[in-house]
Amino acid sequence: MIQVLADNDGVVTLLWDTPDKKQNVFNAEAMTALADALAQANAIEGAIGIVIASGKRDFVAGADITMLQGMASQADDVPALYAGVGTLSKLLRDMEKGKLPVAAAINGTALGGGFELALACHRRFAANNPRAVIGLPESGLGLLPGAGGTQRLPRLIGVQPSLPLLMEGKRLSPAEAKAAGLVDELVEPDALLETAKAWIRTKPSPQQPWDKKGFKFPGGSSEDAGVANMFMVAAALYQAKTFGNYPAGKAILSCVNEGSRLDMDSALEIEKRYFVGLIRDPVARNMIRTMFVSLGDANKLVRRPQGVEKLKVTKIGVLGAGLMGAGIAYAAAKAGIDVVILDTTEEKANGAVDYATKIEDKAIASKRGTEERKATLLARIHPGIDFAALRGCQCVIEAVYEDRAVKADVTRRAIAVVGGDAVFGSNTSTLPISGLAEASSHPDRFIGLHFFSPVEKMQLVEVITGRSTTPATLAHALDVVTALGKTPIVVHDSRGFYTSRVFGTYITEGISMLREGIKPALIENAGKMSGMPMPPLALADDVGLGLMVAVGLATQRDLGMEAPINPSTPVLEVLVHKNQRTGRRGGGGFYNYDGKNKSLWAGLATEFPAAETQPDVQELIERFLIVQAVETARVMAAGIVDAPEDADVGAVLGWGFAPWTGGPLSYIETMGLGKFIAKADDLASRFGERFRPPTALREMAAAGSKYYA
């Protein structure tokens, strides 16, 4: 795993190359191997220093997820957990206090524990590799860097500049890392190892700056008035931004604050204590499971039907060059795939090229892109009006207006060209796939591919199987999604599928609260405090109130007496029909819009007078989360989603369901099924049957079973 290679001049290279893995990661085996390699290097007669290098494309990616899961499973055994947490921290501390200087030759990505290893080295050299990222992203999993990161980084670059990197988990390019002081030298990749060795040959001191007598933090420690005031401001800002939903940021602040007053060994004990507290917190457990394990499984296509040859995607077609179609075309071109995009006129089709141009120009202006990359990308987008251009596409994605007749027409015209050889995907967000597939002469190759807006930023694609969709079509559709660089979840056909169906309950609940006489500002604040990315009334304006009314009417036409009662309909009718307020694009809805500024429409107070008694904000927060969780439980009970992992990943990535919960099913399990059902039943008795849990959830609770083993 780690080779010990000694040069004649006394420079010892530790070459880390884990067999059968794409990346080097920290786990129990790796820590033992590193400890043994360091011991061997220090025992070599005439050794003058050590260079740690990687035999992989990247340096070290961080902790093995199974190790983090193992720690989380020990949450009730605090002594064992505390002992395990300190293993890597002690190893790195022993390394930096050893008799030999150590240099890190960072050839590629170094994240989490991988960068903590580099921080414990006496000098850091990074290759000028544009695809590499460097940083400490643990806060994104509800954790903090637990192997010295919260203590070494502030001592290296200062408390104030280190806090955003620690609390926000920022990932920097090697050039940005050099500018920020995270690495000492930026060198060309082919000169990396020799440059690190050359530094060792100068026989530098093996003592870290923070271990030298008289060391002072760059910019001051928390004992200095300016830094102490900064901590108070940072704590207030973090609370205002997260509403206390994410304990990792608070723990990082405390860890840095307390640790900066102590010597390094004592500070590392402080760090260990806070790390243990976080790993025992359900927020970290749920975020690790959903945003690391389940997300990783989705990207590995664990639900892809086996025995189907992988589809090599080199050319796709997109029907419709509107916002969604143009976004899909851009994603394809960015992934190196040729894309034919068709619309009713050349001008409309060329809009996809304009869309891509704007994105690339913005990247160039911020120094994240180049003219060469832009030219290459644009050359892959082929706009037009002739369906014959679709010949040779492995997949065609329909992204036209949500109208069955329009979709049926373009489906027939496209299938006439590509036949049954290509996957045909519809980007519909609500219309049942099986019904749309009736327009195709090859319904077995028809599937839903629901992208999210803006496509270039949103990672999720909801892959929806229809009645006739074959396993081979599902497998190939998943191949297309991953070729586009997106994350798929698998969903079965139904009205609204999964994401649109559950997402709608959040907006509906906010509008229902307004109808009850709850003040709109209180509704919006509760939505933000729940952890949702946007408050419900503002989100409704962005979706479009007129569109929501139209979807409601279409549902009533299709389902008749079986159409569910939507408590938001009376409010929407007042705004749309009585006041002609159709949302942001229409100039105003629940809000008035003035450029980038917006304010709640004063007419809401007249149309929906506030009740004399207003509810506690915590009750509103729970209503928002519980109504979405109940609907997710219904989706699972109906067999629309098979895997709880897909449900939680889809919720967090698709509509931004409070990430701190790990997703709606994780939220239910964290609360406990019995307690959740009791709360939901209480809300149902007071506000309506939309809160009533499905029978399947009650049966699970009675049997003592869970969604997750």
Higher pLDDT among residues 437 and 564, named by residue: 437
Top-confidence residue, 62 or 602: 602
CA nearest neighbour of 332 among 301, 304, 353: 353
pLDDT of residue 378: 97
Q: Which is the catalytic residue, given 122, 382, 442, 450? A: 450
Cα 649 to Cα 646: distance, rounded to the nearest angstrom: 5
Structure tokens at 361: 């120009």
Q: Which residue has the higher pLDDT, 68 or 252?
A: 252
The CATH code belonging to domain 315-497 is 3.40.50.720
- Inform me whether the pLDDT recorded for 372 exceeds 90: yes
Given a cut of 90, whether residue 223 has pLDDT beyond it is no
What residue ranges do the domains of the chain occupy? Answer: 2-280, 315-497, 500-516+534-607
Position 662 pLDDT exceeds 80: yes
> pLDDT by residue (tens digit) across 91-112?
999 999 999 999 999 999 999 9
**How confident is the model over 160-183, as a mean pLDDT?**
95
pLDDT of residue 561: 66
Decide: 321 and 287 in contact? Cβ < 8 Å: no
What local confidence, expressed as pLDDT, does residue 562 receive?
66
Average pLDDT (321-325) is: 95
**150-159, 167-176, 276-285, 555-564, range with the lowest pLDDT:** 555-564
* Predicted confidence band of residue 657 (pLDDT cuts 50, 70, 90): very high
Mean pLDDT to the nearest integer, 515-526:
97
Looking at residue 577, its pLDDT comes to 93
| 437-to-402, 440, 497, 548, 600 alpha-carbon distances in Å | 14, 5, 15, 24, 42
Q: Mean pLDDT over residues 525-544, rounded?
A: 95
pLDDT band (50, 70, 90) for residue 328: very high
pLDDT at 205: 95
Beta pairing, strands 395-398 & 381-384: unpaired
% the chain with pLDDT above 90: 83
Task: Say whether pLDDT at 78 is over 90.
Answer: no
Out of 314-318, 422-426, 427-431, least confident range: 427-431
Predicted pLDDT at 463 = 97
Query: Catalytic site residue 122?
Result: no
Which whole number is the average pLDDT over 591-607?
94
Cβ proximity of 154 and 295 under 8 Å: no
* pLDDT at residue 435, as a whole number: 94
**Fold topology of 500-516+534-607:** N-(1-d-carboxylethyl)-l-norvaline Dehydrogenase; domain 2 (1.10.1040)
pLDDT band at 81 (very low <50, low <70, confident <90, very high): confident
Least confident residue range of 45-49, 66-70, 79-83:
66-70
Residue 130 has pLDDT above 90, yes or no: no
pLDDT value for 565: 73
C-alpha to C-alpha distance for 11 and 671, rounded to whole angstroms:
55
- Asked if pLDDT for residue 625 goes beyond 70, the answer is yes
pLDDT digits (tens, 9 = 90+) for 558-596: 767 666 778 889 999 999 999 999 999 899 999 999 888
Class of domain 2-280: alpha beta
Question: In the β-sheet with 110-111, what is the strand arrangement from edge to edge?
Answer: 110-111, 134-135, 171-172
Using a 10 angstrom Cβ sphere, with 0-12 exposed, 13-18 middle and 19 or more buried, the burial of residue 449 is buried
Over residues 29-51, the mean pLDDT reads 96
Q: What is the pLDDT of residue 401?
A: 87
Going by C-alpha positions, the residue among 264, 29, 288, 253 that lies closest to residue 148 is: 264
Helices (H), 467-574: 471-483, 499-515, 520-529, 536-543, 545-559, 569-573
Assign 430 a pLDDT band (cuts: 50, 70, 90): confident
pLDDT above 70 coverage of the chain, percent: 99
- pLDDT, position 176: 95
CA distance 555 to 563: 6
Q: Tell me, what's the pLDDT at 701?
A: 97
Calculate mean pLDDT across residues 598-616: 96
Residue 183: alpha-carbon gap to chain centroid: 27
The overall pTM is greater than 0.75: yes
